[in-house]
Amino acid sequence: MKLPQFEDIVNAHERIKGYVHHTPVFTSSAINRLLGSELFFKCENFQKTGAFKFRGACNAVFSLTDEQAIHGVGTHSSGNHAAALAHAASIRGIESQIVMPSNSPEIKKKAVASYGGIITFCEPTLEARELTLQRIALQTGVEIIHPYNNFNVIAGQGSAAKELLEAFPDLELVLCPVGGGGLLSGTALSVKSLSAKCRVIAGEPSGADDAMRSFKAGYIIPSVHPKTIADGLLTSLGELNYAIICRHVDNIITVSEESIIEAMRMIWERMKIIIEPSAAVPVAVLLENKELFQNLRIGIILSGGNLDLKNLPF
């Protein structure tokens, strides 16, 4: 099993730089005082399609040869990767087949459709998603781009942390959320390559804690019936992602739903920016563990800002 290296992230960053936003890093003195740390927020909620996922999808699409891309691309996703892949495919001028769970947020369904993705809905289980995608791939010949267990996707996602560490090389810790592990594995590769002293810790909802349990057990424990407001973090870890996480991640910490909502509201109120629940999870780690992170310089990747404004949790 060939794993991405930092060189692959560097190459991915060069490949996609003309398509993705170099997202800003914001700070908040008010939140710094509340949490007792100096925080640097990498705002991937301002990325194209509203999430970091566009980096990986873009790298995967533009890494394909013309022969591989001739029938288009396909994936299964609850939303952010779906929209990202549909948009990247539209830029390249190829078709995208997107399998989405029937309970995906409406805003994410609309986003995929707006980028030209051909949507097929399925039951909200991983098995249904994978079987539906396999059937479509056999019928259409699309190149499957997995949402996170994909070499080029991981390399693309790592470009966010690369930008963050290049701008702030003296960070002592980088926090990000973990679902399937695409962002976390790419982040860990970048951070550990650019800073010997910087730790990488992931946040995960306690109601979807398969990554934490897998990390501690030494083998992948699938996500079964996860329940969390952070809908982007419901999937099981991929094999590529898990291998990188075991080598380069320092810890995975779970947080309550109440803390996720509190963190999300804090970012909205104090920083005046919109983030989705998944993006609030690493901030919730700090809320629940203030004493562990006092007086540190901490980078936080705000993973996305796509959510249904009609169904806010506060």
Q: Considering the chain, tell me which residue range(s) the CATH 3.40.50.1100 domain(s) occupy.
A: 6-51+157-302, 54-144
Coil vs helix vs strand at 134:
helix
In this prediction, residue 202 carries a pLDDT of 98
What confidence score (pLDDT) does residue 308 get?
Answer: 82
Q: Which CATH class is domain 6-51+157-302?
A: alpha beta
DSSP state of 294: T
Q: Which of 31, 29, 45, 47 is nearest to 265 (CA)?
A: 31
pLDDT band at 57 (very low <50, low <70, confident <90, very high): very high
Task: Tell me the average pLDDT across 295-309.
Answer: 94
As a whole number of angstroms, the distance between CA 173 and CA 192 comes to: 11
pLDDT digits (tens, 9 = 90+) for 90-130: 999 999 999 998 888 787 888 899 999 999 999 988 789 89
The SS3 of residue 163 is helix
Q: Which pLDDT value is given to residue 158?
A: 98
CATH architecture of 54-144: 3-Layer(aba) Sandwich (3.40)
The pTM of the full predicted model, rounded to 2 decimals, is 0.95
Judged on CB neighbours under 10 Å (0-12, 13-18, 19+), 250 is middle
Mean pLDDT of the chain: 95
Look at residue 272 and give its three-state secondary structure: coil
pLDDT tens-place string over residues 243-295: 999 999 999 999 999 999 999 999 999 999 999 999 999 999 999 999 999 99
What single string gives the DSSP state of each residue in 46-92? Answer: GSGGGBTHHHHHHHHHHHS-HHHHTT-EEEE-SSHHHHHHHHHHHHH
Per-residue pLDDT reduced to its tens digit, 193-218? 999 899 999 999 999 999 999 999 99
Q: Cα separation of 178 and 209, whole Å?
A: 9
Q: How confident is the model at residue 79 (pLDDT cuts 50, 70, 90)?
A: confident
